[in-house]
Structure 1
Amino acid sequence: MFLKFTKEQRIGFFLLFAIIIALQLIYFFADFSSVSQNDSDKQQWLALQTKVDSLKLLKSNEKQTIYLFNPNFISDYKGYKLGMSVEEIDRLLAFRKQNKFVNSAKEFQAVTKVSDSLLNAIAPFFKFPDWVNHRRGDNEYENFSNKTFVKKEKIVIIDINQATQEDLIKINGIGEAISLRILTQKEKLGVFVSMEQMKEVWGLSPEVILSLNKHFAITKLPDLNKIDINNASLKELSMFFYFKNNLARQIVKYRSMNGDFKNIEDLIKINDFPVDKAKYISLYLSF
């Protein structure tokens, strides 16, 4: 018995077979590698993005490291990073422009007016010079000492022109090298006429000079072979410690054009004369 299909059914069967054949052809001849490649690239980018996100999370959780610093030298940017306001930073900068220094966290707060909470947060990172810490330590020690039993050492003043290297080394902060510089300076000058001349010795800090002044002095002005400023030759003037060649030439020139110098006030009229040292330079001269 034969199956009998209508015309519409036969057309339907034909279209179905055509679709099946077309799908088979697409399967065998179409290239799906680009799709798989795109999927692979997408997976790599997703993995990379996950790694980036994890690094960002670690960075956000990372605490900022603060190193020890001297609060006297806080810049605008440093102060901003520490949490200081513009006004607080400006107060510190104005204070420093006066050539002043804060030497403790308490002084820092008094100058800048920072809050107690901010001071407690940043003060542990303050680092002051060693001599400041030593001074503070000495003061703290004195507060707990019984001054009734403290015997003050009697200081014997020594004439700085009679001091030996052993005498100088006894001062805290003066070693063999600096003591030799002081003695060499004395040889160049002949003698010291003022303790102010200690400031001219390279390597002596203000604190050491202060200590020197407590133990040494000009007890008696020694006899000097004074320079006759109105008759000394150019060579003789150039050999004087405070008169370099150029200044010596100007002295001779001024003397020839204006006559004799009557006092130190006439000398300081010359260009480049060390006016700040005139008081004790005059002690080496005769008019």
Structure 2
Amino acid sequence: MLWKFKSLIRNFFGLSTIETNGFVVLLFLLVIIIFAPTILKALITEKSSYSEQERKELDSLAAVIEQRFKSNGDNDLLASNEIVLSKFDPNTCSKREFEKLGLRSSVIRTILNFRSKGGKFKEKKDLLRIYGFKKVDFDRLYDYIDLPVKLRSEFVGSVKQHKKFEPQNTNRGFINDFDINACDTIQLKKIKGIGSVLSRRIIKFRDKLGGFVSEYQYREVYGLDSAVVKELKKVSFISPLFQPGKLAINEANMEELSQHPYISKNMAKIIVAYKQEHGKFAKLNDLLKIHIIDTTTFNKVKPYLTL
């Protein structure tokens, strides 16, 4: 059969015997190249595949895993697989109890560090001063927080003694002085020059910051001019007992660090690189060893840091 095919090729193209043999070999190789993908696919296809039931089980498992990652904005699974809501005092709650409440590990570390430094929660809203404690978690746990909604009147009265104040008469009515770190947008909107947008912006900046520790920080809120800042200073105060939210620099990753208004992404990246090369910080002042952190920047961010 082959010699007939060679003879046909030789007579048709006028080739020699050697040329004919070469032509046949080349033709054979071309056929293999053309049909190789189809042949290989047929060879590597498994004879036994997953059953329909097994495929359904695998798809279901994948969907559950994906949903658990999507349910947390930080792509961080809760330390506990089961959330159990019950009354709790954040001043005495253990790590395991916090985990059962569905809090993220980074938030739990910040709370425990805050307590280890002598910090104390006096009312429900104090939890919002913890760096990374989200409003959605606060709303979810609100009814279970074993703390008063507001401070006792005698405590508020003692704070007011630190600042003399007479009610300011504006076109929005009389304004009583308030704690800038515990106020809401309703109180802020009573101040002339502050509307819905600015009031929300002040609250958002305060929460990201971890709370105001100085009236000079009012100027850092985008959109507040000097006149509005002056009015805000007249009717607000910062409690001398206030403890700002703390960010644990030895535990926080680059994303957590860069969320703070005083820490840029580049600075956060360098801080993490420094820890990887030199180990954990022994004291906060070690941050000054990083060349891009000058004394001014360090003094601004220091109140919001802990080891």
TM-score between both structures, scaled by the size of structure 2: 0.38
Flag the structure with larger Rg. Answer: 1
TM-score between both structures, scaled by the size of structure 1: 0.41
